[in-house]
Structure 1
Amino acid sequence: MIRFSLRIPANLHERVTARAAADRRSLNSEILHLLEAALATPRADAGPPGGDPASPAPLRGTPDSSPA
């Protein structure tokens, strides 16, 4: 296991500590749990690499951008 130092704001430390206590975990275990959960969940804004060729490209410009 790798050890490293992490500096976080005091209010974030308080929130994670409270969550660890509520989940009956150590602070270290809670941080590992949160990281694993965050990395396992696909991001809503991240599409497949290179885009999906079956999906049309998003429209560009204003809704009424037809030539006059």
Structure 2
Amino acid sequence: MVNFNLRLPDDLHAAIKAAAEHDGRSAHGQMLWYLRQAVESPGTPDRPGGDPAASAPPRGNGHSSRS
């Protein structure tokens, strides 16, 4: 298993914790479930139809907004 650090916005973390509580999972388990759903689904919001060759839309400049 790989250890991966991820920073989440407070509101997203709270939503994940609430969903985890509702679904009877830990927050970690809920995030794993979400990731598996995203990876195993035939299509993603960024790549309609699951086409790996379709480019994802740009998401900012790739840098943190922190100064």
TM bracket, shorter-chain basis: 0.5 to 0.7
Aligned residues: 50
Structure with more helix by fraction: 2
1:31 aligned residue = 31
1:46 Cα deviation after fit: 3.3
Of the two structures, which has the highest relative contact order with CA contacts closer than 8 Å and spacing of 6 or more? 1
Which structure 2 segments of 5+ residues have no match? 54-67
Separation (CA, whole Å) in 1 of partners of 2:41 and 2:30 = 17
Instruction: Give distance in 2, aligned partners of 1:47 and 1:4.
Output: 25
Task: After the TM superposition, list the runs of 4 or more consecutive aligned residues in structure 1 that deviate by more than 2 angstroms.
Answer: 46-50
Q: Percent identity?
A: 36
Larger Rg: 1
- Taking only aligned residues, the RMSD between alpha carbons, in angstroms, comes to 2.0
- TM-score, L = length of structure 2: 0.64
> TM-score when scaled to structure 1?
0.63
Aligned residue for 2:41?
41
